[in-house]
Amino acid sequence: CPDHLKEHDVVINSQVNPLVDEINNIDNQLSSLNVGESIDKCRQKLDKWRHDCHNIIDHYYEEKCQELQQRCVQQASQKRKKIHQLKLKTNELIQEQEVTYDDISSLKATINDIKRDVNQFEDNGILFDIHPLIINQNLVYIEDLISNEFDISTLSSPYRSIDCSTDYCQALASNNHFLLLDQYPNLCLFNKELILLKQTPWEYDRISNMCWSSTINGFIIITNKNGVFLINENLTSIECIQTIEKKQWLSCTCSNASLFLTTNTSTSDIFQFNLLSSFHFIKQWKSPQTCNYDESIYNIAYNNETIALIIKETFFCSHGQYV
């Protein structure tokens, strides 16, 4: 009826005015906002990143300086040894008084070789090469004005696939060059075309998760019993990280400075370790900060100073397990 319609319009219109007030408040907030302070806050993060990077470069530089000094001392010692052997040989020939023209020619050739070697060492030191430092432009992400909405219809159809037919849930991780796939009992390394480059046996217990760290330039693999492992990009080195306690680890992710691990227990905990300091423990978060007491963390991911969690409900079965 008209009265009800009028009453309905009044109710609707009464809800508009508070919205207008809220819009005006937001507008006023933005107008009074000091953009310079926001820039300074972001710059502080960027400056810290630069400071950490300088520390990494300085540490690498000091290591190479020590190595260079050691190699130079070894080279000089080796040259002294050759000169000493040449002196002994010359004195022996002088004492025997049976020097031949062949001996003289051999001595001259040896002296010339040593002299040339010493002159080169004096002028240029030892041979070494320095490659330019290539900066990955994706190391620092700055949000732009492009919409964050993702249209799944824009994805192209798959052009290549890997057979993963197994009852075991497989973990994978990638960097800009390779894809590392857990195909138990092997670790498989693929290139961008998903062509198998290398396969190495995995001699520890089942892998829970893995991730890539550009900071330490290596893959990090976590297991449920044997701890956490660091593997280089070419799978030539597998090292158990001794500073991380063996727990029932389930998932992992990395920021530029930290490694985050979650436990495979009810009311999952999150642990933070320092990538820049031999994986030393930094912090631990427990329930209810991480999840509710009837929940557990299924997966964790880091991007742009933000940690995302996949959380699932946990049920306690009669046979004493959490599912």
pLDDT band at 222 (very low <50, low <70, confident <90, very high): very high
97 with 209, same domain: the answer is no
Identify whether 173 is part of a domain.
yes
236 with 275, same domain: the answer is yes
Identify whether 40 is part of a domain.
no
Identify whether 184 is part of a domain.
yes
217 with 292, same domain: the answer is yes
Predicted pLDDT at 10? 65
Tokens standing for 189? 């390394």
Identify whether 46 is part of a domain.
no
DSSP 306: E
Predicted pLDDT at 213? 92
Identify whether 308 is part of a domain.
yes
Q: Which residue has the higher pLDDT, 219 or 265?
A: 219
Predicted pLDDT at 150? 62
Averaged pLDDT for residues 181-187: 89
Predicted pLDDT at 20? 85
226 with 259, same domain: the answer is yes
Averaged pLDDT for residues 50-79: 91
Q: 124, 152, 175 — which closes off a domain?
A: 124
CATH number at residue 230: 2.130.10.10
Predicted pLDDT at 318? 44
Q: Which residue has the higher pLDDT, 38 or 228?
A: 228
User: Looking up tokens 């691990």, which residue turns up?
Assistant: 261
Identify whether 154 is part of a domain.
no
Lowest mean pLDDT among 87-96, 139-148, 193-202, 305-314: 139-148
111 with 22, same domain: the answer is no
- Quote the CA–CA distance of 191 and 176 in Å, as a whole number: 9
Identify whether 231 is part of a domain.
yes
First to last CA, the chain: 56
Q: Kindly report the average pLDDT of the chain as a whole number.
A: 84
Residue 147 confidence (pLDDT) above 60: no
Predicted pLDDT at 251? 92
21 with 61, same domain: the answer is no
88 with 171, same domain: the answer is no
Identify whether 143 is part of a domain.
no
Helix (H, G, I), strand (E, B) or coil at 252: strand
The total of structural domains in the chain comes to: 3
172 with 232, same domain: the answer is yes
Each residue's pLDDT tens digit, 89-128: 888 888 888 788 888 888 888 898 889 888 888 888 887 7
Q: Please, which residues bridge with residue 173 across strands?
A: 180
The neighbour count for residue 28, using CB atoms within 10 Å, is 10
118 with 194, same domain: the answer is no
Predicted pLDDT at 281? 92
Taking the model in full, what pTM does it have? 0.52
Each residue's pLDDT tens digit, 286-314: 888 888 877 888 899 998 888 899 988 87
Tokens standing for 10? 């009044």
174 with 300, same domain: the answer is yes
Each residue's pLDDT tens digit, 9-64: 666 677 777 888 888 888 888 888 888 888 898 899 899 999 999 999 999 999 99
Counting residues of the chain whose pLDDT is more than 90, the rounded percentage is 29
Predicted pLDDT at 3? 60
AA letter at 299? N
pLDDT band at 321 (very low <50, low <70, confident <90, very high): very low
Predicted pLDDT at 317? 47
pLDDT band at 219 (very low <50, low <70, confident <90, very high): very high
184 with 288, same domain: the answer is yes
Q: 104, 124, 144 — which closes off a domain?
A: 124
Q: What residue numbers bound the domain in which 218 lies? A: 165-313
- Quote the CA–CA distance of 84 and 169 in Å, as a whole number: 66
105 with 239, same domain: the answer is no
